[in-house]
Structure 1
Amino acid sequence: MLRHIQHISFIRGNYVIGVQISFRGNNQNCLYHLIGVKKSRGKLSIVKQIIDITSIEELVKHIPKNTPIVISIDGKNIIHKFFQEDVGDKGLDFVLPNARKEDFYVQTSLINDGAYVSVIRREVIDNVIDRLNAFKVIPALINLGPFVTSCTTFLFDDKVKFKSEFWEIEATGQGISYNPFTSSDSNFIFLNGESIRDFCFPSYALSIAYLADLEIPGIEISLQLKEEFLFKRAVWLGGWFFLSLVFLILLVNFFIFSNYNDKYQDINNMIQQNQSLLNRNDELKTKYTLERRFIERSGLLETSRFSFYADRISRNISDSIQFTAIRIAPVNDKIRSDKPIVFDEKTIIINGKCSNSQYFNSWKDDLKEENWVESILINQFGQEEPGKPIIFELQLMIK
């Protein structure tokens, strides 16, 4: 899996810290030079440069968490030897014939028509790694000497000659030559519009190689450290991606919930405002249901003789005639508790008032023409006082 993700630019990062470790004597006597290189939209830029840092404690203060760090090591603890041919994996035998392979790290760097073999004791590198690990810093690359510069010849359009801390380097677009040289004074190199500290140049070239994902020579443990760092960084980025995704989902869910909650509140407020109308509506529904049931049970929704008689009686009535009572099938006698109620289903009694006897007679004559009327009796017809309406009572006998 790491073979696939180690070439992904997002996993590798676009900002790298290059550290030059220069040994001046024993393992503890060394200086650290730091350079920060950033890649943005295909362009490289130097973010910061610091030289002559005297301790790892001070160094790690300038290294952001989970930022790739590449280390170039040089100085008195390293043996560099040039050979006119590629010595393959037998470099240690040529440099230190009687040395044990378990005690040394070996790096072979192909340079023009030959190779530089660099040898360093394992305990020196392991001590550097352990001290960095104590601050939770894992190097992404470790390289010996300045020879990584030969992998970045594309940086040099013109011939450039400069002196670093331990080497005099002459570079062109075709190749690079190295001559041992010791200097304690740092100068600037002007390259591609950037001003670079010469002490930082090997770590700068190593940073460029990392950002460009170049295959470079390295010691045995460098590949292991690279895989360990990239795995750690992938897990870290994956964790942030997962947290960001969860946060985004929760944020979207919050906005959706807020939207529906606002709608719920609006509807609830509307319901509260119209609760009296809703209560009145429920009350009318209940009343309507009860009255409908009563009417349905009473049979008033169906056609009947009584409704027919009432309709025919009032069909041709004049505006001058007003009914005060209509008794269809009146009670035949007084109601007594000891006798059943008897209705006269052949009789209709109409009480009313009229202001014009002519209209009354016309209406009465029309009723006589009805085929269901057998006879009409006038029980009452007269005025109580002059100028007042005529009071009448008709009795219709039904066939």
Structure 2
Amino acid sequence: MELKRTKKEIEIVSQTESQRDWDAVKSYFKPDVPVVLHLDGVGILIRDTESEGQVSENGSSFQSDDSDFIVRRYAKGDGTGELVSIMRTELLQTVLDFCVKNGVNVVDLKFAPFPVAAIIPLLASVSSEVITGRWKLLLKDGKLHSFLANSDESRVTYSIEGELVSSSVIALLAACLQFLSGDMDDIPLLGRPREEYTYGYLLKKGGIVVLGVLLLFLTVNYFVWDNLRGRYAGLRMQVANNENYLTELSGLESKLKKKQFFVDKYIGNDVSTRFSFYADRLASTLPGSIRLTKMELQPLMQKPKEGKAILYQEKTISVEGTSRHMTAISQWIKKIRSENWVKEVELVSYSVDEKHHTGNFELEIKF
């Protein structure tokens, strides 16, 4: 952007539809936008002098013996002397005060036309001179040699890597490129603005990085926490279900102990004391069409005789009864055989009572 400052106001030389007044231009200067200035005009002197020592081709800036001036020297391409630009410190302070007042964050500054020397190799179709603002820089063997006034202030357009640049702002472009490459002038008045910009930039970018890391951490933490919460809820549900199962199991074990107690007390675990259990099981399987007339548990093998031991049929039950249907007897025998404690069932006898139309039977059950 090309501006021209008078005593009372700033005139915008490179106007566009969005840059017609200073208030519109100021909107571009955000606090985090670095601004590079190039100054030229009244108050800036340039000289062509003999060389007094080795000077960088791109120039070197330092305070002269008189602190009221800032001097910058550029070596001629043929080594026969140097080109010097001089600016009053008071003028620079006035410019910087104006920039601070209007929120312009100045981080580097060049003055006079000689900074163009740094980009001469980039200019296409340049032979003997380069026009920059109100000056003509004379070249010798493609390097800066001298200068003349551009009396008619004519303007030309140069091509740099395919980009077209007006001669009125080519010195500013050179200043910006030197800033981006790290070649900044050591001007004490710019020390504090540079520090404020640098620290502010680092603080902002660092804050963004820290905030990004924090948000990433919180996001990861949320998903991890949500996953753990889901797993915790699932485990709690499993624990609750297991507690229900344990309660149910405890109740069943209690019932089993009670039943086992009654079995042990009234039936017993020994075979000789389980007769009541066998009798109960036979009665529970008995069909309604059969009537029992006799049941003997471990019946006698013979009638007892005095002086002789009594003999029993061990692990045997003898059953006698009547039924009108032989099929009912057969079905009952099948049911008895299906009992786990029964080893064998035998129909010992069967006879028919013609008078009462019934069948008399006798069963022998081994256990």
Aligned residue number for residue 104 of structure 2: 137
Task: For residue 52 of structure 1, report the CA deviation from its aligned partner.
Answer: 12
Q: How does 1:118-129 map to 2 (within 5 A)?
A: 118-129=85-96
Task: For residue 137 of structure 1, report the CA deviation from its aligned partner.
Answer: 3.2
Letter matched to residue 196 of structure 1? V
**Which of residues 89, 109, 112 is equivalent to 2:74?**
109
Is the Cα contact below 8 Å between 1:156 and 1:173 reproduced in 2?
Answer: no
How far apart, in 1, do the equivalents of 2:76 and 2:272 lie? 125
Higher relative contact order (CA closer than 8 Å, sequence separation 6+): 1
Instruction: Say how many residue pairs are matched.
Output: 309
**1:324 match: secondary structure:** helix
1:188 maps to 2:152:
no
CA change 1:58–1:180 in 2 (3 A) is farther
**Which of residues 72, 93, 115 is equivalent to 1:148?**
115
How far apart, in 2, do the equivalents of 1:353 and 1:364 lie? 25
Q: How does 1:1-399 map to 2 (within 5 A)?
A: 22=4, 26=7, 28=8, 31=11, 57-86=23-52, 92=64, 100-101=66-67, 103-112=68-77, 113=79, 114-156=81-123, 158-160=125-127, 161-170=129-138, 174-177=142-145, 178-183=147-152, 186-213=155-182, 215=183, 217=185, 219-259=187-227, 267=234, 281=245, 284-294=248-258, 300=264, 306-307=270-271, 309-310=273-274, 323-324=282-283, 364=299, 368-370=312-314, 382-383=321-322
Task: For residue 288 of structure 1, report the CA deviation from its aligned partner.
Answer: 1.8
Task: For residue 188 of structure 1, report the CA deviation from its aligned partner.
Answer: 2.4
How far apart, in 1, do the equivalents of 2:44 and 2:18 lie? 19
Letter matched to residue 74 of structure 2? S
**Unmatched 5+ residue regions in structure 1?**
1-18, 35-48, 94-99, 326-350, 393-399
Normalised TM-score (structure 1):
0.58
Task: For residue 237 of structure 1, report the CA deviation from its aligned partner.
Answer: 1.0
Aligned residue number for residue 11 of structure 1: none
Is the Cα contact below 8 Å between 1:322 and 1:352 reproduced in 2?
Answer: no
Q: Which moved more, 1:74-83 or 1:252-261?
A: 252-261
Aligned residues: CA RMSD: 5.1
How far apart, in 2, do the equivalents of 1:369 and 1:260 lie? 71
In our comparison, the structure showing a higher alpha carbon Rg is 2
How far apart, in 2, do the equivalents of 1:322 and 1:294 lie? 20
Task: For residue 238 of structure 1, report the CA deviation from its aligned partner.
Answer: 0.8
How far apart, in 1, do the equivalents of 2:202 and 2:152 lie? 40
CA change 1:363–1:126 in 2 (3 A) is same
Letter matched to residue 69 of structure 2? F
Task: For residue 129 of structure 1, report the CA deviation from its aligned partner.
Answer: 1.8
Is the Cα contact below 8 Å between 1:20 and 1:72 reproduced in 2?
Answer: no
Identity of aligned residues (%): 14
Task: For residue 382 of structure 1, report the CA deviation from its aligned partner.
Answer: 4.8
CA change 1:313–1:166 in 2 (3 A) is closer
